[in-house]
Chains A and B, each alone.
Chain A
Amino acid sequence: MFLGLPGQGMHLHLDALSLLFLGILLPQTVASAAAGMYRSGTFWAFVLGMGLTLAAADAFTLIFGFELMSAASWLLVLRGDQKPATLYVGVAIFSAACLIPAVFLHGGAVMFLLIVLGAGAKAGLAPLHFWLPRAHPAPPAGVSALMSGGMVKVALYVIIRYGFVVLGQQAQPWWGGVLVAAGAASVLIGALRAMLETELKTVLACSTVEHVGLIAVGLGIALRAKAMGDETTAGLGLQAALLCAVAHGLYKPLLFIGAGEVKHSVGTTSLNWLGGLVRAMPRLGLLMLAGAAGMAALPLGPGFAPEFLLWHAAIGAAGAGGIVARIGFTALLAVLGLGAALAIGAAVRMFGIGFLGRPRSLQAAAAEEGERGPLIGMALLAALCVPVALLPNLILDALSPVIRLLEPQAVLPPLAYAPLPLAVLAALVAVGAAFILYRYGVRGSREVPAWNGGFGKPPPWLPFGDPTTQPSATGFGEPIARAIGRGLLAPGGGDPAEVFLLTPLTRLHLRGVRLAERIRRATIRQRLAFIFMALVAFLLALGLGEGS
């Protein structure tokens, strides 16, 4: 083959796991290409890198694909903005520095931890998630979509591949605990920040952190259960994680492409300047609503079934094991509940502030319907969301070969959730209610005095209404920021990982640079003195070492 180590060549092999992730990758690639990225060669290099990682059968090809993906996506982020790209490339280098030694180790806990560090940094697992809300919104929408929907999945694929397949025989229960802890932290911080951020794309990126956390929690429960021989919980955890990956790979690219269209049409994605977009862009609004339903993990949406399974898995894990595990998994249930609630809040806030109500700026009022290509891509993703949302049993059946590959003895209980009859019932009720309203309701509109928080009919001198009568995105999130944010965020409202990890690292780096600069600025005599001192120190060490 044309790549690979000299004398060994490149090995590609497609098994069920690779096929599943390639299948997750395919629709969003089509949608991103339709959204206008098909002209970019770097984009296709990015896709090629992801495909190569997924299809790799040897460590070298895997790493090659992974780094090709990183490099190409860095170039694509660089098109958007420079600072996030620099942060991103720093994290990518860190992840490479963990992964490359890891894949050439011969098993063991160190290898697993390095894999989780390297691939987890790339996937956005806490505490190495700080780059994701900055880097994902920067590039063009199609790339953001593929980074959020595809690239983090590829990183998770690496964790699954090594955690379950390569190191499957030597797995320890605490390995799963590591994944669960990191995932729970991601869920909490991602959901909270999604509730508080005001940029549409940043909200989506934070929600990605949350969903990566959910997948990691599922994987962690499964890995722990597998190591402990609890086959039912292992099956549930894997079902939850993989179904979540499938669903997230559909609605998150949809939302990102939609955000790109909003930016294209309005000129900004700051929620504080949007509003009322559903009237100007009805099709886009409808598609975004479908995506938001997935993000919120509401019943009948694509995001509910995985969360439902994850709850079952967590309850199953909480019912077994020692006292610490029981308490820990019960706390995990609380974290998952908080995460789900915050996710609903974030989705409602995103759609309600951005698309409902009155426009908050002239640009939002003058928005026009999105272009054809992106809308077609979004419609494709939304159409694929329907079977995931309404027929999760079918999807789970399709996933069972993958789960058997990861855990041959897994027990796969049937899903106790049948959304299709529910949807039919809900539709019947809705049609009946509409009919009753139509038949017996009051015709025409009535004007009532302004009581709705001042949100009445706009006065003639302010055709779009007074912007200050509408809650802003910041104001909407403020109660949450006060109630929960104070405890979880760093003082000042920053991301704790940024404040407690990134800032000290930056300071350390600055100090190193200053030191290097001082050496570089040294005069000739000082340099001579450095070399001289080094020589003397060496001689002294030699002499003392020999003498003793």
Chain B
Amino acid sequence: MSLTFSLAHLMGGIILVFGFSLLSQRRLAAMITIYQIQAFVLSAAAFWQGYAQHEVNLYLTGLITLLIKAIALPIGLRMIVAKFNMIRAVGTAMPVLLSTIIGVGLIGVAVLVVLPSTLSAVSLTREDLAIALSVVLLGLLVMTTRRNALAQIIGFLSTENGLVLAAIGMPGMPFVAEFSVALLVLLAFLVVGVFLFRIREHFDTLDLTGLEEIERRGR
């Protein structure tokens, strides 16, 4: 029993650490790699929870996470990077140190919210939930602090990882929800990929500053 929880917490902690390092990473290739490892750990966590809760659905979740997020999406992302030749570091809208400090603050917020408000609930998954919320908030922070569209997408995908982490920690979460979330992410990725190509065609860059400039001038 204690092994179950410590392993689950360990994996949640690893996911959180990777979400955190996503925040401080400037190069796209490294961000993709970090995201990939995060997704691997997530699928492992799903398998472990499936084993611990004797739930077939969680195995399926882990499988989907493994196939789509740990294998398919990174391949696609790397293809985009290769296609656009974006080896250099991408611009951040905020100094890395500052965003790291804010990230720490966000984890504090997540703990502050989850721990008291679930005090009466099952104590089974409280820490897990706090970790998942932190991952979600960190992903959102990545989205807001990066100028590059691809980096924002990675932030979005990381946010989604946090959601799945919360879902697998909860006993009784219907499988359909996770499945549809995964599908949604895939679809969003496809749409955004097409969109990126269009942006690239028009502006020769994926840095959204150009787009904002056009938008401002157009008004």
The reply to whether A521 and B219 contact each other, CB–CB distance below 8 Å, is yes
Q: With A532-B140, A542-B117 given, is the CB distance from A525 to B147 under 8 Å?
A: yes
Please give the number of chain A residues whose Cβ is less than 8 angstroms from any Cβ of chain B in the complex: 16
User: What DSSP secondary structure best describes chain B's contact surface?
Assistant: helix
Decide if B201 is an interface residue (CB 8 Å cutoff): no
* Proximity string of chain A (516-548) to chain B, C-beta cutoff 8 Å, 1 when within and 0 when not: 000001011100110010011001101110110
Chain B residues within an 8 Å CB radius of A543 = 109, 112-113, 116-117
The reply to whether B117 and A525 contact each other, CB–CB distance below 8 Å, is no
Chain B, 82-106, CB within 8 A of any chain A CB: 93, 106
Shortest A440–chain B CB gap in Å is 84
A83 to B211, CA, bound (A): 38
The reply to whether A523 and B212 contact each other, CB–CB distance below 8 Å, is yes
The reply to whether A528 and B109 contact each other, CB–CB distance below 8 Å, is no
A257 to B110, CA, bound (A): 72
Shortest A151–chain B CB gap in Å is 41
The reply to whether B215 and A532 contact each other, CB–CB distance below 8 Å, is no
Question: Which chain B residue shows the least CB distance to A541?
Answer: B113
A540 to B144, CA, bound (A): 19
Shortest A527–chain B CB gap in Å is 9
The reply to whether A539 and B109 contact each other, CB–CB distance below 8 Å, is yes
Decide if B15 is an interface residue (CB 8 Å cutoff): no
The reply to whether B144 and A529 contact each other, CB–CB distance below 8 Å, is yes
A543 to B113, CA, bound (A): 4
Shortest B135–chain A CB gap in Å is 14
The reply to whether B93 and A544 contact each other, CB–CB distance below 8 Å, is no
Decide if B208 is an interface residue (CB 8 Å cutoff): yes
Pick the residue among B208, B216, B219 that contacts A525 (CB under 8 A).
B208
Chain B, 142-191, CB within 8 A of any chain A CB: 143-144, 147, 152
Q: With A523-B215, A528-B144 given, is the CB distance from A536 to B116 under 8 Å?
A: no
The reply to whether B219 and A535 contact each other, CB–CB distance below 8 Å, is no
Chain B residues within an 8 Å CB radius of A547 = 112, 116
The reply to whether B116 and A546 contact each other, CB–CB distance below 8 Å, is yes
A536 to B106, CA, bound (A): 8
Decide if B46 is an interface residue (CB 8 Å cutoff): no
6 A-B residue pairs with Cβ-Cβ distance under 8 Å, sorted by A, are A523-B208, A524-B208, A525-B144, A532-B140, A539-B113, A539-B133
Residues of A that sit less than 8 Å from B by CB: 521, 523-525, 528-529, 532, 535-536, 539-540, 542-544, 546-547
**Contacts beyond the supplied A539-B113, A543-B116: 9 A-B pairs with Cβ under 8 Å:** A523-B215, A524-B208, A525-B93, A528-B140, A532-B141, A540-B109, A543-B113, A546-B113, A546-B116
